[in-house]
Amino acid sequence: AQSVAQPEDQVNVAEGNPLTVKCTYSVSGNPYLFWYVQYPNRGLQFLLKYITGDNLVKGSYGFEAEFNKSQTSFHLKKPSALVSDSALYFCAVRGGNTGFQKLVFGTGTRLLVSP
């Protein structure tokens, strides 16, 4: 069975500093990995995905994520955080061998960027 772990419930960072939100996964076959962001009382917005190719994936709003196969990780990063980045972030995986096309989400990490 596929699973996703986000070990941090909350990440605090000062504006202008780099941020990292951690994600590790477990899946059969090649993983398809996604990051989504959720603002209060809103649905999820797609940030970026890894399918194949370069391990460093660039996405929306200056975010990027690095796929590390040996560590089964897909950490979300941003070089310089903004207060407006404060939100709930979800990592998700879909297994390559899965015929049923559903995403499995992590528990989410709340990012708080202080001015």
Q: Provide, rounded to whole angstroms, the least separation between the CB of residue 29 and other proteins.
A: 10
8 binds other proteins (CB under 8 A): no
Write the single-letter amino acid at 54.
D
Which residue from 28, 46, 56, 69 is in contact with other proteins, where contact means CB under 8 A?
A: 46
Of 12-20, 67-75, 77-85, 94-102, the window that binds other proteins (rule: CB under 8 A) is: 94-102
Residues within the interface to other proteins (CB under 8 A): 32, 34, 36, 41-46, 49, 51-52, 90, 94, 96, 98, 100-103, 105-108
